[in-house]
Structures are given as structure tokens and as C-alpha cells.
Structure 1
Amino acid sequence: MSDKEMRKGITTGTCAAAAAKAAVMAWLGQPVTVLQVFSPQGVLLTVPVAESWPVAGGGMAAIIKDAGDDPDITNGVRIMAEIIITDKPGVVIKAGIGVGTVTKPGLAVPVGEPAVNPGPRSMITRAVTECLPTDKGAVVTISIPEGEKLATRTLNPILGIVGGLSIIGTTGIVEPMSEEAFKNSLVPQISVVQALGYTDIVFAPGKIGQDIAINRCGLPAAAVIQTSNFIGHMLENAVKYGMRRVLLFGHLGKIVKVSAGIFHTHNRMADARLETIAAYMALNGAPQTAIEEIMASTTTEAAMPIIARYNMTEVYSVLAERASARAKRYVFGDLTVGTVIVTLQGDILGLDETAREIGGHLGWNVGTR
């Protein structure tokens, strides 16, 4: 029996364009329960309309976001558009409740503008223009009632998008479980750091590392971004965006994988954490019993007391140096890389000299500890 094919969905951009078109149709006295809009690539997409109604000088409509089988936090969310008809041709797009506003440079949308990306903007403009009389224009206000709450669970606060969600989607279609889409959603963080004038950037695999880097070590929040498991992908894009130096900053469990040359750090892709620790402990002269205890551990947290008991804590700095060397090699020497390894409580286990240089340049408060 073959696996069931994953169902595709529609982006927030498609929803916004469909809501805008449905609002125009309501103003025209021709309400619809389903309609079609063009994707940026010219593909016709069919979208159900939850409701629409005329208002003074225009119309309103709502679309329920259907993300298909993708685990999207906006699935089932109501996306609304209000249209006010003007006598001046052209379409103006505004952010309503729950749609963010851009406050930092470096994104596809200028500072001060609604966080509606170029693809959705083109879709909205085309959908509205198709229905309007040629001598009319429209002001389109996109709203997501739940948007401000949901935005706290996205990268928007880090990217400087305040007040709600972004209206996104380069194709209009959500491909279910798209790892590539998630990887690419992380990259704009780098462009924001670049636009703020930094040539040094801090990569933290997760929020815990990011918080420690900022709150415990005093690294500038604007330069510290999350990579998730995609450290290799983000290193490549750091090169693309002209970064000069990268400071890898994270928990032993993630960094030790980079020390072994693993740049997709999800545990189902590759592991070798304990084997790597054991190998470098052996290289530094650890006794056979220490290696056996490390290999019998289940987590890197469990390995730490063993490392301390055998007075082998210098291995952390060796692992940091190795992670930096492997990362630099990964991008063919196009970046200088330093590494800091921390505990979940925020204590520094090990770091290399390059990390001290980069951290010092960024004004951290680690000093010589």
C-alpha cells in the first residue's frame, strides 16, 4: 500500500489576494463563494471564500487559510481584506490588525511598510485590478485577527517585524513539510544583520543559545540569529551576504556535531556526539575507562560530569577549535569562524581564540573567563 500523497495548501499571500478580490466583488454586488487568483508565476489558484459583504465605499471579505498537510501555525487562521474604492487608479496596500510592519532594514520590504512581501503584493494588485473599473483604484487593508499573538511564535520579532504576521509566499502554494522553505525562512535574519552594518554575526542553533549569547554574554541582540539545525546552509548564506566572521555559539550537543563535520544537526540526520567526544578525549590522553563511560552515556549532558571527573575539561576548547576549523573548511575559507560551547545554564565550557577575538569585537562581557 503506497503512502498517501501529501496535500498542498495556499500561502497567506494567496489568501490575502483572494480576500481582496472577493471584497471588490462584494462592492460590485457580485459576491462569490469561490474564486481564482493568479500566483506570481501565472498559475491559477482556486480559493474558497468564507464570507464577503459590501461596506460604505467598498467591501470586506475573509478567507480561511488552508495549509494542506503542512504544519503551519497559520493553518485555519482567518485572513481578511477591506477594500475602499478610490477615483485614482492604482492599488495601495496597508497593514491592518495582526499584520506586521517592517522596522529594520535588510528585508524585501522597506522600513515602515506593511510586512507584505513582493510576491503577495503582486498577487493582490493583480487580483484587485482585474475586477475594478479602469477609472478606479483601491486601498487594500489586510488583517489577521489572531496575527499579533501568532507572530510571537515566529522569527518576526527577531527580524524587526512588529505588530503581527508577515504576508508571504513566493509561489502562492504551500508545499507540505517543506524543509527547503523552512531553511529559506531563516536566511532573512542574515540580511537584516548585514543591513544594520555588521560584518561579524553570531549563529546560535536555538533560542536557548541565543538568549545566553545576549543576556549572559552581552553580545548585541541585533547580531545574534538562530540557525536551527541548518548550520551549513546558514554558513553558505553568510558568505553570500558578505559576512566576514561567524561566531558559532551553542550547547555542546549541537557544536560537537559540527566538530565532526556534521552541518545538518537534527538527530535523525546524523549524531556521533558521544563518539566525537570520546575520540577527542582519547586524543588528549584520557584513560580507557573514561572512553568507555562516555560511550555508555546517553546524552552530552550526562557526559559532562564524566569529563569533569577525569579532569579532561580542556577537551571542550579542542572541540571548539575543531568546530571552527570544520566550519571554515565547509565554506572553503570564505569565512573566519570562532566557536563557543555553553551549558544549558549559560556557563561557558570551552572556546577558541578566534571566538575571543570576534566576541571582543562585538563587545561581549566574557573577558578572560
Structure 2
Amino acid sequence: MGKEETKLRSGFTTGSCSAAASKAALLMLINDIEIHNVTIETPKGIPFNAEIIDITRDAESVSCAVIKDGGDDPDITTGAMIYAQVRLTDDGKISIDGGKGVGRVTKPGLDQPIGNAAINSVPRKMIEENILEVLKNAGITNKGVSVTISVPTGEGLAEKTFNPRLGIVGGISILGTTGIVEPMSDKAIVDTIRTEIRVRKAEGNKILLAAPGNYGLTFLKEVYGTPEETAIMSSNFIYDTVRIALEEGFKKLLFVGHIGKLVKVAGGIRNTHSMYGDHRMEVLSQLIDGISPKALLPNKESLKEQVMNCVMTDEAVRIINEAGVGTEVFDEMVSRIRSNLEEWSDGKIEAQVIMFANENTELVATDKAHDWIRTFGKIEG
């Protein structure tokens, strides 16, 4: 079924849930009532009618929750209960902090300064605007409000997010720029990549170390002793990663990946997701075709056919190596990868590449790659 035939359901961000819970809790505190639904307007202009649950109160505060619904987006926070506890204060200020299950920032380069709860600026603005609206409608001008956002399951959920790698400890982040969760959003992934790159820049790194995914991070750790948190994950967004690195001021990029991903980059493919095409064996076949005369094989066409019939790149690697042309093919491949990465940066970033196959077998590295990796961790062996 084509994309145009499938209507995925949107959801609401943790920021929207926090704002709705905050508004409901303050309404109940001021009016001494119990409400079970509240409506807020998201920054995108779409109303969010939230169901309010688990209401508790004491002499000074009210707490309530909204269940996060991410729609059809595979968001690990879907189903989590987002709580807001509010109390009136005498300082006339709106203060917003995180409680249990909301992470706290420990590294520079993020939306919030070090020490703050990981409640991003747009959710903070949403919470504040809704609190001020309630105060205004109630005619209260001499009071402030203290808001505490908590997510009881947040600490466990955070282990499945980028937060530990970003230096956000103790829970999830309260996020959202539009208030709406767009299902399967590529933008959300690219935004995460940008955040990771900004953190690395803020940490003072001169070289951006990148890998497509966990496979590359494991290779770096097991082969080079490089801590996983030093590398950013580009996912399939190789071109976007290069452009963001350029925008954030990096001049050096060290890219480490499995041949199954990087062979596509050698072919000039900017996004390595299979939905944009495979072409792995076609690129390998083209590289074999370009073998220099000194390594020319009489059975070149047969070798190309064998490679084209492969399903997995590691099987193709075995065939190429057994034919005695691995050095030629992989040297040319990594040269093209580097050339494409540098071209995508308008020639303003110097790129180095390390490429490996299954079982952490390094196939090839560009000339400065090992020198650069030493700045992140000790090469073992």
C-alpha cells in the first residue's frame, strides 16, 4: 500500500501532556473542583483535548496526569503517565522543574543549561502560557505558581532513548516544538542527530566521530576501545549528518561503518535506508569493473556476476577477497566514500573513513583515520 493510501494517526508530545496536566491541576487547585478533561492549544494550532486522571490533592497542591499518546508513531513514551503538580507561591513567578523520571542536563550544548530539568524551551513556554491564562481568568495577579513535571516510569524509558548518550540523567526529556507527534517523522530523527552534534561541539571536540548505528558503536568500543558516547549515530541520514556537521562548525569528520551501509555512500546515495533503493551489489560490481590493469582478472565478468547474485555484503566481501582483489576494490570504495562526504560538505570538511565487515573485521581505513581515532580512545593491537 502506498504512502498516499495510508493515513497515520498523529499524537501529542510529552510537552503537550505536561501543559495540559499543569493547566488542569491549577484549575482544580484554584477552583477547588475536580475536572476530567481539559483543552489546550498546541503551537501548531491544533487543540489537544486531554483526559485528566489520577487526581490527588493536599492542603497546598494538586497533582494529576495525562497519558501520553504518540498516535501511530513508534514512540517509547506512548502510554507513559505525565504528571504535573502545582502549588501557588508568593513570589509572583512561574517556576517549572522536573521531578521523578524527568532527566537532568549534565552536558553543555542542549536546549537547557547544565543542572536544569530536561524540559525543553517550547514545552516550558506552553506550560507557562497555560498557567498564566488560568491565573488571568481567575483574576489572580499577586501569586506565582510552582510546577513540577514527573514521569514515574521515565528512568526506565530513558534507557531506550538517546538521553544517556547526551548526558541527560535520571529520566526522559519533555519535548516537542509543535506539540504534535508526526508519525514516523524523519524530521524527529534528524533533529536528534543535530542535538547530538551540538553536544559534541559544545564538549570541545574538533573531530566529529559518526557511525550509522549501534553496530558501528560496538565496533568502535570492541576494536578501538572508544567509548560509545563519543560517537554520534547518523542512522541512515548520512548526507544530513554531513550538512549538520558543517552548519555546527565542524571541519573534520571521522565516519565509521559497516560495508553494508557505506557501500551505498560510495555510490553517492545520500540516505542509506532501503526504501531509497539498495544498489549495494551494483556499486560493488562497478568497483570490480574499474580494477586497474595490474590487478585485472581474466574472469572479471564471472566475478561481477557472483557478486551481483549475493544477498549479503559480507558474502560479497568473501568472494572479492578470495579473488585476490580486495585491496583494490576496498581502497577505491573508501576513496569514493571520503570524496562524497567531502563533496556534500562543499569541500569544507575533511573526512576520514573506517569500514568494517562482520565479526569486527576492518576492511580498510583512509590515511589519517587511525591517527584521528586515537584522539577518542586507545587503539588496541
| Contact 1:245-1:358 at 8 Å conserved across structures | no
Look up the equivalent residue of 1:16 and give its one-letter code: S
Name which of 84, 98, 103 aligns with 1:100: 103
- Match of 1:271? 278
More moved, 36-45 vs 105-114? 36-45
Name which of 11, 23, 26 aligns with 1:24: 26
> How big is the shift at 1:361?
4.4
TM-score w.r.t. the length of structure 2 is 0.91
Find the aligned partners of 1:332 and 1:364 in 2 and give their Cα distance: 31
More moved, 329-338 vs 177-186? 177-186
1:131-172 superposed Cα distances (whole Å, 9 cap, x missing partner): 232211122111111111111111111111111110000011
- Match of 1:290? 303
- Match of 1:56? 59
- Match of 2:171? 164
Name which of 289, 297, 314 aligns with 1:301: 314
Find the aligned partners of 2:227 and 2:339 in 1 and give their Cα distance: 24
> How big is the shift at 1:281?
2.0
> How big is the shift at 1:41?
5.7
- Match of 1:312? 325
Matched, 1:129 2:136: no
Matched, 1:176 2:190: no
> How big is the shift at 1:221?
4.2
- Match of 1:331? 345
Name which of 6, 9, 13 aligns with 2:8: 6
**Local SS of the residue matching 1:239:** helix
- Match of 2:249? 242
Q: 1:366 to 1:337 in 2, by over 3 A?
A: farther
| Contact 1:22-1:52 at 8 Å conserved across structures | no
User: What are the within-5 Å matches in structure 2 for residues 62-141 of structure 1?
Assistant: 62-132=65-135, 133-141=140-148
Q: 1:347 to 1:73 in 2, by over 3 A?
A: same
Look up the equivalent residue of 1:322 and give its one-letter code: R
Find the aligned partners of 1:153 and 1:191 in 2 and give their Cα distance: 21
> How big is the shift at 1:220?
5.1
| Contact 1:102-1:160 at 8 Å conserved across structures | yes
> How big is the shift at 1:55?
2.0
**Local SS of the residue matching 2:25:** helix
1:305-332 superposed Cα distances (whole Å, 9 cap, x missing partner): 1122112221222211110001111121
Find the aligned partners of 2:331 and 2:152 in 1 and give their Cα distance: 49
| Contact 2:26-2:131 at 8 Å conserved across structures | yes
Matched, 1:341 2:355: yes
**Local SS of the residue matching 2:246:** helix
> How big is the shift at 1:270?
2.1
| Contact 1:321-1:351 at 8 Å conserved across structures | no
> How big is the shift at 1:37?
2.0
> How big is the shift at 1:30?
2.6
Find the aligned partners of 2:125 and 2:38 in 1 and give their Cα distance: 17
More moved, 97-106 vs 175-184? 175-184
- Match of 2:230? 223
Look up the equivalent residue of 1:54 and give its one-letter code: R
Look up the equivalent residue of 1:320 and give its one-letter code: V
> How big is the shift at 1:354?
3.5
Find the aligned partners of 1:179 and 1:278 in 2 and give their Cα distance: 31
1:204-240 superposed Cα distances (whole Å, 9 cap, x missing partner): 0001101221342133545311000001111100000
| Contact 2:44-2:180 at 8 Å conserved across structures | no
Give the unaligned 5+ runs of structure 2. none
Find the aligned partners of 2:308 and 2:8 in 1 and give their Cα distance: 39
Find the aligned partners of 1:307 and 1:123 in 2 and give their Cα distance: 58
| Contact 1:316-1:351 at 8 Å conserved across structures | no
**Local SS of the residue matching 2:205:** coil
TM-score w.r.t. the length of structure 1 is 0.94
More moved, 207-216 vs 11-20? 207-216
RMSD: 1.9
**Local SS of the residue matching 2:274:** coil
More moved, 321-330 vs 216-225? 216-225
